[in-house]
Structure 1
Amino acid sequence: MGVFSTVLGFFGFGVGVTIGLVIGYFLFIYFQHTDVKHPLIRPIVELDTKSLESMLPEIPHWVKNPDFDRIDWLTKFVEHMWPYLDKAVCKTAKEIAKPIIAENTAKYKIDSVEFETLTLGSLPPVFQGMKVYTTDEQELIMEPSIKWAGNPNITIIVKAFGIKASVQVIDLQVSALPRITLKPLVPSFPCFAKILFSLMEKPHVDFGLKLLGADVMAIPGLYVFVQDMIKTQIANMYLWPKVLESTKEARWNSAC
């Protein structure tokens, strides 16, 4: 009787989730506005005060904050290096995710989790300024302002209980203000022993999520819930004064 109840429970959960996704998706399509108009483009001098105030969050830090330096050269450098950085970052991400996936698949009795596609796309991040602190300690503190409206294609295939499902992340947008500290500074390459990373404010993360080809983020209420959950989780891990520490000196010496 217990096994029968468990099976019925799983069946009811699966049917309920499926019906909820379908109903939510069609409700979103039904209530979606059809009278979409092209935005009116005008010179800045013709905008009123309210329009100018709405543009303030999009203004680069180096414009509205004198402590931030303009670093267009770094954006151009990353733009030229992006095809190679894309492959390197994706390779590193797979290596980092491999033991984590192996641990969780065994824990939750999942058959396999594999990356079908993993690419960051053709659009590199943009550096909107950088603030550098001068201290009496043997350290270098930088705060780059980063915005990335990318077109990545991250598709994960999950197999469990004889069912195969695909999860795809698309249209990723990230806005963050990290603090990167190199300390202590040493007279041998790479001239620092540790990298300390933290976020000075909650990042903005926006993305599209497809489950079995359907846009899950189109379900009313789910988008806001996911946004708040991501911001909260990232803040709990990396928001200052919490720090992510990485030791680089040993890795550099071993590579040399």
Structure 2
Amino acid sequence: MGLLSTVLGFVGFGFGSCIGLVIGYFFFIFKQPHDVKDPEIRPLAELDAAAIQKLLPEIPLWVKNPDFDRVDWLNQFLELMWPYLDKAICKTARDISKPIIAEQIPKYKIESVDFLTLTLGSLPPTFQGMKVYVTEEKELIMEPALKWAGNPNIHLSVKAFGLKASVQVVDLQVFAHPRITLKPLVPAFPCFANIYVSLMEKPHVDFGLKLLGADAMAVPGLYRFVQV
């Protein structure tokens, strides 16, 4: 009797699965939505500037806005110098962060925080254009459009309560539009007394985060929380 019940159970499960697949196939494949409209096709000559920018969001600012100048020479300079800038920036970051980490970790009962890997990757940031303001004051105002879709590898090892965990930041994307003001200008190197940096709009920052080798951004809700 037990064997017969088991066989009938398997048969019922298989029959029910087949019926469910058929019904699902009918509803999701053959059932056409009624609220879908045909796309409106128009020649590019009839589109306004806003519509074209939505179609081609990656157009550099010097193409969309005549106030921005091309800075290809600066991008070429960064491309050639990036391997050396990467090592210099990472070394400076290590030297600056060590005393700060040593001072802060006792407050949180953390035994140690060490850099396992620290590199900004092989892809340098690029400037999509730069706007320079001419004023009557002794100042220089610049607005570069910065885009960086890099492949950094920032790997930290955190040890606390006898346990060790690893945190890794990868695949960083930063799109920013800062305003840099040098004032006042003075006749002594570096020829300005102060530097002020502000953001003209909210920057776009996206990155991958791994905890213990697993993709932490796959946790529901965490990606949206980090991006806020």
Same fold (TM over 0.5): yes
Name the residue aligned to 1:98.
98
Structure 1 residue aligned with 2:61: 61
Distance 1:181 1:163 in 2: 46
CA distance in 2, matches of 1:198, 1:89: 22
- Deviation of 1:66 after TM superposition, in Å, equals 1.3
**Structural mapping, 1:47-196, within 5 Å:** 52-196=52-196
Read off the aligned partner of 1:85 and give its amino acid letter.
L
Letter aligned with residue 205 of structure 2: V
1:253 corresponds to:
none
User: 1:196-211 alignment to 2 at 5 Å?
Assistant: 196-211=196-211
2: CA distance between counterparts of 1:52 and 1:158? 48
**Code of the aligned partner of 2:74:** L
Gaps of 5+ in 1: 1-44, 229-256
Q: What do the CA deviations read for 1:168-224 (whole angstroms, capped 9, x no partner)? A: 000000000111111111112111122111111111000100000000011222111
* SS of structure 1 residue aligned to 2:223: helix
8 Å contact kept, 2:123–2:149:
yes
Say which SS state the counterpart of residue 208 (structure 2) adopts.
Answer: strand
Match of 2:7 in 1: none
Residue 231 of structure 1: aligned partner: none
Q: Which residue of 2 aligns with 1:40?
A: none
1:226 match: secondary structure: helix
Change (3 A) 1:70 1:120: same
Q: Which runs of 5+ in 2 are unaligned?
A: 1-42
For residue 246 of structure 1, what is the aligned residue in structure 2?
A: none
Q: Does 1:213 align with 2:186?
A: no
Q: Taking every aligned residue pair, what percent have the same amino acid on both sides?
A: 74
Q: Distance in 2 between matches of 1:142 and 1:148?
A: 18
CA distance in 1, matches of 2:160, 2:55: 47
Counterpart of 1:76 in 2: which secondary structure?
helix
- How many residues align? The count is 183
Per the alignment, residue 240 of structure 1 pairs with none
- CA apart distance, 1:144: 0.5
Specify the structure having the higher radius of gyration (Cα). Answer: 2
CA distance in 2 between partners of 1:108 and 1:124 (Å): 35
- Give the CA deviation at 1:55: 3.4
Partner of 1:224: 224
CA distance in 1, matches of 2:202, 2:51: 25
Q: TM-score, normalised by structure 1?
A: 0.67
Q: Supply the distance in 1 between the matched residues of 2:95 and 2:181 (Cα, whole angstroms).
A: 25
CA distance in 2, matches of 1:72, 1:55: 24
Q: TM-score, normalised by structure 2?
A: 0.75
Deviations 1:28-58 (Å, cap 9, x if unpaired)? xxxxxxxxxxxxxxxxx89x96995533432
1:99 Cα deviation (Å)? 2.8
Q: Which runs of 4+ in 1 moved over 4 A?
A: 48-53
**Deviation digits for residues 96-132 of structure 1 (CA, Å, limit 9, x no counterpart):** 2223212220111110111111000000011000011
Distance in 2 (alpha carbons) for counterparts of 1:97 and 1:82 = 22
Amino acid at match of 1:112: S
Counterpart contact for 2:53–2:59, Cα < 8 Å: no
